Chain A
Amino acid sequence: MSTELHDLGVAALGQALASRQVSATELAGTLLARQAALDSQCGPSSLGAYLAVDAEATLAQARRADQRRADGESGPLLGVPIAHKDIFVTRDWPTTAGSKMLAGYRSPFDATVVERLAAAGTVTLGKLNCDEFAMGSSNEHSAFFPARNPWDLSRIPGGSSGGSAVAVAARLAPAATGTDTGGSIRQPAAFCGITGIKPTYGVCSRYGMVAFASSLDQAGVMARSAEDCALLLGAMSGFDERDATSAERPPQDYRAQMLAPRDGASASRPLAGLRIGLPAEFFPPALAADVNGALRGALAALEKLGATLVDVSLPRTALAIPVYYVIAPAEASSNLSRFDGVRYGHRAEPHGDLMDLYKKSRSEGFGPEVQRRIVIGTYVLSHGYYDAYYLQAQKLRRMIADDFSRCFAERCDVIAGPVAPSVAWKIGERSDDPVQDYLADIFTLPASLAGLPGMSVPAGFGEAGLPVGLQLIGRHFAEGQLLHVAHALQQATDWHLRSPK
C-alpha cells in the first residue's frame, strides 16, 4: 500500500499529525497542490469536484490547528483536512448550493456541522460540487459543471453529493461532508467505491444546510472507511438548539460503538447472532446482474463473519417513489421561495416591476430540474390537489415507516440490499427523461422517508470495473451498529481500499 499522504485516511492522518510526522500546514498544502494539479475545473478530463478553493483560507485554518497542537491540544481530528459539500454555508468560502441563484453568496455564519468539525480541529480544503440545491442523482444538475466519476471520467459520480464522492475517491480529500435527502450520500458513495453514512433524521443539525426537503434532509459523511465515518460523525453530530427537529440525545462515541464487540461474538465470527434482512423487493428482476453478483459476494462475506441472512419483505417499496417525489418537491417548493432576488442571491438586471423581478430572477437563477420540482411541489400542495397528493403521500409515508418497524421488531436487526439498480451510467445518457433518474432512487428512498440511518459500503465491482455499493439500513439511532457491521466487513475485505487510476 502506498504511503503517500493523500492515500491515508482520516484515522491514519490523525495519528500522523499527533506524532508530528507531518504538520497540518504541510498536509493541507500537499492536498491543495494535488487538487490544483488534478482538478482543473473545466474540460472533459477534469473531475469537477470543487466549486470553491481558497488556499489562503485553508492554510490559515491549518496554521491555527498547528498552533492549537503546540498549545497542548490533541484529538483525532486536529489538523485533519476535509472538504464540505456546497450545501453547508460557510463564512470563509462562498456557498452556492450548486446554483447560479447563489453564485458568490457569502454567509455571515457557519453551518453547525461546519462549526463542530472546525471545533474538533478539521481544516477545510474547499466547497464541493453538487446537484443544484441537492436535487439530483448524478451531479449533472450542478449549474456550473458536472462532476466526473474518477473510475471512468465519462460517467456520473452519482448525486447529489457528487463532488464529495469524487474528492474522496480521487484522494483529493480523506473525507467530505455530504447531505442525503433521498440517497444523495449513499448513491454517490456506491458509484465511487467509497463509504458513506446518512445518520438517523435529527442526529446532525440542519442549521446551516441550505434546505431542500426539511423532513428528509440529513447531513452525513463520505470517507474511505467505516472508522473514518465514525470519527467525523461523532464530531459533527449531536443536539443543536437552533434546529427544532434536532434529536435531544447525549453525545455519542461512534468509534467506540463501532469497535465494541457484540454479545455472543468471537474474533472470527464478530457478527454471530446478527440477523441481516434481505427485502425481496430490493432484489427485483430489474436489478442489474453485475450489481446482484457483487452484492451476493459481499453478503457471503458477511455470512462468513457470522451473520445470518433472513428473507424479509418491505411490500410498499415501489410506492416510495411517488411518496418521495410528492413530499420532497412540496417541501422544496416552499423552502426555495426565499430565493426571490430581494435580500441575497441572483437579481435579474434589468427588471421591470416587482413581479418581473421575481419571475426573471428565479427563472434565471434556478436550473431546469429545480424548476421542475418547484412546479411539482406547487401542484401537489395546491388547492384541490392537497388531499389526493400531499396528504395521501404523508399517510403512505407512515405505512412505509411501519413496514420497517415491523421488520426490525420481528425479523432482523439490519436490512441489506443494493444502493442503486445499476453501476454508474454515462454522463448525458439520461438527460432526456428526468423521471428515469427518479426511478433509480427506489432502494434509497424508503429509509429516507422513515428517517432511518443508512450506509453504503464498497462491495466489489460490476461491469467495466465500476464500483458497487452494499446498502445497510438500521433502526433509528443505530448508527453504531451499522458502523460495526461495515467495519467488520472492511476488516475482512479490501474493496474499500481500492482506488481508481
Chain B
Amino acid sequence: MSLTPSEVVRLAHLARLQPTPAEQQALLATLNGFFDHHVAPMGAVDTTGVEPLYTPLAAVQAMPLRLREDAVTEVVDRNANQASAPAVQDGLYLVPRVIE
C-alpha cells in the first residue's frame, strides 16, 4: 500500500498545497512509514457487521439531528465580518479573475 511520488503530488494539489521537491520526499517517507507500520494493522481486523461511529455519543444514545425553527435571527455587521479580509471592494471579496 505504498504511496508513490506522483500520488503525493496529486494529494498536495487536491489540498491546494505546494510542497517543494524535498518536502514531497519527506512527506512520502513519513507517510509510507506511518501507513505501512502503524495503519496496516487496522486492515487486518474483521469489522463485518460493525456500523461506523461518526459521532461518539451515538454509541450510547439516539442522536437525531436537532432542527432549528425557520426564522431570521442574524443581523449581519458586514464591516465587523470583513475586518480581517485581505482584499475587499464595495463589500465584495476580491480574488484573481475566475475563468470558467
Contacts and interface: CB of A to CB of B under 8 A. Distances in A.
Interface of A: 104-106, 108, 200-202, 215-216, 241, 244-245, 247-248, 318-319, 321-323, 325-326, 333, 337, 340-345, 347, 351-360, 362-363, 366, 368, 371-372, 374-376, 378-379, 382, 388-389, 391-399, 401-402, 405, 433-435, 438-439, 449-452, 476
B71 interface: no
Q: For chain B, which range describes its interface: under 10, 10 to 19, 20 to 34, or 35 or more residues?
A: 35 or more
Contacts of B15: 333, 337, 362, 374-375, 378
B89 interface: no
Contact of B34 (A325, A343, A449, A452): A325
Given A354-B96, A375-B8, A435-B34, A398 B41 contact: no
Given A372-B27, A394-B52, A451 B19 contact: no
Interface in B13-47: 14-19, 23, 27, 30-31, 33-34, 38-39, 41-43, 45, 47
B51 A398 contact: yes
A344 B86 contact: yes
A398 B59 contact: yes
B50 interface: yes
Nearest to B40: A322
B93 to A, nearest CB: 6
B56 A450 contact: yes
Contacts of A245: 55, 57
Nearest to B83: A106
18 contacts: A200-B57, A244-B65, A244-B66, A322-B38, A326-B42, A340-B16, A371-B17, A375-B17, A376-B31, A379-B7, A395-B50, A395-B51, A396-B47, A396-B50, A397-B56, A398-B53, A402-B59, A452-B56
A374 B56 contact: no
Contacts of A104: 84
B72 interface: no
Contacts, number: 168
Contacts of A359: 16-18
Contacts of B7: 379
Contact of B45 (A396, A451, A476): A396
Given A363-B19, A382-B11, A476-B57, A344 B85 contact: yes
B56 A201 contact: yes
Contacts of A356: 96
A344 B81 CA distance: 9
B93 A343 contact: yes
A119 B45 CA distance: 49
A392 B42 contact: yes
A433 to B, nearest CB: 8
B57 to A, nearest CB: 5
A215 B53 CA distance: 10
Contacts of B66: 241, 244, 248
Given A322-B39, A375-B8, A395-B50, A202 B84 contact: no
Nearest to A392: B42
- Shortest beta-carbon contacts, A-B, top 8: A451-B56, A394-B52, A347-B86, A398-B53, A108-B80, A395-B47, A358-B16, A359-B18
Contacts of B56: 201, 215-216, 397, 401, 449-452
Contact of B87 (A325, A347, A352): A347
Nearest to B1: A388
Contacts of A318: 41
A362 B17 contact: yes
Contacts of A105: 84
B86 A341 contact: yes
A395 B84 CA distance: 40
A395 B52 contact: yes
A392 B43 contact: yes
Contacts of B16: 337, 340, 355, 358-359, 362
A360 B84 contact: no
Given A378-B15, A405-B59, A319 B42 contact: yes
**Best-surrounded residue of A362, A396, A398, A450 (most CB of chain B within 10 A):** A398
B3 A106 contact: no
A357 B30 contact: no
B30 A352 contact: no
A397 B87 contact: no
Contacts of B96: 351-354, 356-357
Contact of B33 (A347, A397, A402, A435): A435
Contact of B60 (A337, A347, A368, A476): A476
B66 to A, nearest CB: 6
Residue among B27, B68, B96 with the highest chain A CB neighbour number at 10 A: B96
A427 B7 CA distance: 33
Contacts of B43: 388, 392
B90 interface: no
Contacts of B19: 363, 371
Nearest to A247: B57
Given A396-B45, A399-B50, A202 B57 contact: yes
A323 B47 CA distance: 13
A449 B57 CA distance: 10
A406 B3 CA distance: 38
Contacts of A216: 56
Nearest to B60: A476
Given A362-B17, A371-B17, A354 B47 contact: no
